[in-house]
A and B are shown apart, each in its own frame.
Chain A
């Protein structure tokens, strides 16, 4: 296609284009963003699949993420090792899901994992309390936190088990029109 980039092979770029919602240009741009976080760690040649992982501290200091109260959970969910240390694949995956073009179901799935702090595949009351406290920086009273969590479970829990399963969450997201526009990072 008339390009002269030597970072990826043509197949690699092709695979990335198929597996994410980005175009070639955007993938290369994202690669340079990734590299800018740690130029000495990230090689300029990815054709032989180097195994490079950037520690969470670097990812969490990106301008797009540094003010996000859920940045640690986002990094944990998308990283392979679950600790927040991301390879380029994880990085691209993360921003692909968070881009404008990703469908709602895909975003809802990952949102569910982000809000599930204890990784038990359910959003229980303690997960909700943690979410709420991260959102408001602990400025609500205990009573108010309790009331809000109760109301959330009331509203979204379909199968009456006192916590939100993935299906409850997805059903609720279908009816939350803001979700697509807020669960979106522009990069």
Chain B
């Protein structure tokens, strides 16, 4: 008898049954879970009889464990709704469980019912919370029309709105509220200007006399004039300590601590949000490993409810598959490169990278020059013209925006010559753009500071240029305010004056220009960079302009609606699709980079630069940081000793060493897990081969014994649709032809 005859199939291509194979434990567990068709319940009850277990069908990754072996533990039973059975089955299970529950002790019964009640409560609470989520309906609509990639952008935007609101609430409740309620709660504000020297002179900048209307607009847009002496800016918080009847509120300390608090809160929240995506990206590394499977089985977005969106999704999937196949070919090509070609490519890349660095340096230098020019123009107070004045005020913002518009185009042209693989190209261009955008803010601040600390006679008397910048924090706050406003204006203007006309042109005009330009694509990376840029400005600027988070909340609120309208009316989804999982991770990584880059200027200004003596809560201190040591020295000696110990070098070094050790341990663990996974994979393959070998031998032995006995056991013919197949493995040298053999040979092992 042919060894492999047992694996032949019947006419429909399915492998016919063999009582031996049917009894394999792995097949039993599969059969038990399978939802069969015609003889559904009857079949299942018969199979249940065979397996002998009743209602504790466990679901999970432990697919090779038999239902027989699992002890029925009432408390830890699987949730009924997680079982993969049809509804009628689940209801029967539930009634069965209820009956069994009645036989339990009353304590257990109470526990079970309270479990169920709590679970129900938690479900209801979750539903209520999610119905309170902002913009639920709008996001649902966008998800249906454009899929989950673009959805992640909008939910990111929503996250930023909530984050900014919380930051504003922190600042408001700890800094603004005490000052506002001080008069009503009989609080006494102390504000010592300890020397009446030249540093403490703060000329008022409010406009006197008759104010022309457009000057109000200039003030509103630039944060000067009537806005300067308001809660908007640092300089207005002229309060060191507030003495309430029972306690003394140290406002300076509160200001500093609230700054640290909001930076820390942002960090924790972002890291928590990105933890899920990060774990997946780090551990699984599916991009190299499983890209095709992911596209075929998890590629179609089941949320799509729009014919156009479906068509676009299909074409984007097609594009993705073709790109991946192309990438395979390119990998092959790269592997085949000769030495000479490699040298040429590396040389070319070096030249192009130097060119990129040169471009970046040029942009940064122009931002520096523009800032200095703008500051000097504002200082000289020669009013030329309303428009020209505004341009001078906004010159740094304009230069930054223009630079951020040109450089991505330049980068995407350059990357074509550098001959990387397509996936790497996208990432590298993106990294360059991120670097450009976020560093330009740093350059702006650096040039501001160089102006502020540059005096006519070195060194500066007050530590900063008190003549030009009597309250330099307010000036920096004004620059941040201007950046925010200009960013918002740019987004609105681009949407109204570029995207809508583009759509009209493309729809109505049939010329070559329209065809070449094409319909607007919602480019997710560029949009994300825009809002991360705005958020970085917010983080830096909140220290100097405590109401900036509120302004940013309102700004992002409007941006949501603007982008949504523009998306629905003007855009088609990007042909280069952005995967939801990696996109969430990408957004949060860029946001983290922004946060890191925002912490830097704030740290430098808190710790290094002398705070101004004419305004703000820190007039009595040299630098902002000095508040902390001053407060600590007033604490009881026990707390003082503890704090000194925590900040000493010994503690810091040992903490650092322990953290390094923990990190190395975790990395080693991850490496070990990966090795174990590979070994288990090989073992699985080997087990499969073993099983096949043993089954072959068994069938041989079976056929020998049955050929000796005259009676051949009749095999039950299974129903047409629900003919079971067995689950075993074959080694790879088994070709497809075996499965398609139509005429089963004459053997007693199958029908």
Contacts and interface: CB of A to CB of B under 8 A. Distances in A.
A169 B298 CA distance: 12
Contact of A177 (B94, B277, B317, B721): B277
B61 interface: yes
B676 to A, nearest CB: 14
Given A151-B292, A175-B284, A179-B298, A159 B729 contact: yes
B305 A63 contact: yes
B736 to A, nearest CB: 7
A96 interface: yes
A163 to B, nearest CB: 9
Contacts of A69: 300, 314
B88 A177 contact: no
B297 A165 contact: no
A15 B91 contact: yes
B354 interface: no
Q: Is the interface of B mostly helix, strand, loop or mixed?
A: helix
B82 A106 contact: yes
Given A89-B86, A166-B30, A159 B688 contact: yes
Nearest to B304: A67
Contacts of B116: 18
Interface in A64-93: 64, 67-70, 77, 80-82, 89-90, 92-93
Interface string B1-45: 000000000001111000000000000001001110110100000
A35 interface: no
A156 interface: yes
A119 interface: yes
Given A90-B87, A135-B296, A177-B284, A155 B290 contact: yes
A186 B303 contact: yes
B698 interface: no
Interface stretch (A2-10, A40-48, A110-118): A110-118
Nearest to A128: B296
B307 A19 contact: no
Given A119-B721, A135-B300, A175-B289, A19 B87 contact: yes
Interface in B233-277: 277
A17 B300 contact: no
Nearest to B63: A167
Interface stretch (B120-128, B404-412, B460-468, B630-638): B120-128
A105 B87 contact: no
Contacts of B35: 77, 113
B314 A135 contact: yes
A175 B90 contact: no
Nearest to B308: A67
B427 interface: no
Nearest to A21: B81
Given A21-B81, A105-B60, A176 B293 contact: yes
Size class of B's contact patch?
35 or more
A160 B730 contact: yes
A105 B60 CA distance: 7
Interface in B540-561: none
Contact of A152 (B86, B124, B293): B293
Q: Which of B123, B281, B305 has the most CB of A within 10 A?
A: B305
Contacts of A81: 37-38
Given A82-B38, A90-B86, A175-B289, A186 B140 contact: yes
A118 B14 CA distance: 9
Interface in B133-192: 140, 143-144, 148
A70 B144 CA distance: 17
Contacts of A30: none
A115 B307 CA distance: 22
A140 B296 CA distance: 13
Contacts of B80: 18-19
Contacts of B299: 135, 178, 182
B732 A170 contact: no
Nearest to A70: B300
A175 B33 CA distance: 23
B42 to A, nearest CB: 13
Interface in A134-148: 135-137, 139-140, 144, 147-148
Contacts of B687: 159
Q: Which of A18, A124, A139 has the most CB of B within 10 A?
A: A18
Contacts of B140: 186
A136 B317 contact: yes
Nearest to A144: B325
A172 B293 contact: yes
Interface string B732-751: 10101001000000000000
B731 interface: yes
A98 B87 contact: no
A178 B40 contact: no
B608 interface: no
Contacts of B301: 182
Q: Which of A158, A159, A173 has the most CB of B within 10 A?
A: A159
Contacts of A118: 12-14
A105 B322 CA distance: 30
B298 A183 contact: yes
Contacts of A113: 35
Contacts of B143: 186
B697 interface: no
A158 B681 contact: yes
A109 interface: yes
B286 interface: yes
20 contacts: A18-B80, A19-B80, A21-B81, A80-B88, A82-B721, A89-B88, A109-B84, A121-B30, A125-B736, A148-B325, A152-B293, A160-B729, A160-B730, A166-B30, A176-B294, A177-B280, A177-B286, A177-B294, A182-B301, A186-B143
Interface of B: 12-15, 30, 33-35, 37-38, 40, 59-61, 63, 80-82, 84, 86-88, 90-91, 94, 116, 120, 123-124, 127, 140, 143-144, 148, 277, 280-281, 284, 286, 289-290, 292-294, 296-307, 309-310, 314, 317-318, 321-322, 325, 579-582, 681, 684-685, 687-689, 721, 725, 727, 729-732, 734, 736, 739
> Which 9 A-B pairs have CB atoms at the shortest separation, nearest pair first?
A89-B87, A67-B310, A82-B37, A159-B688, A177-B581, A179-B298, A159-B729, A19-B90, A178-B298
Given A120-B725, A158-B684, A162-B732, 20 more contacts: A18-B80, A80-B88, A81-B37, A89-B87, A102-B82, A106-B82, A113-B35, A122-B725, A136-B317, A155-B292, A155-B293, A159-B688, A160-B689, A160-B729, A162-B730, A178-B581, A179-B297, A182-B302, A182-B303, A182-B580
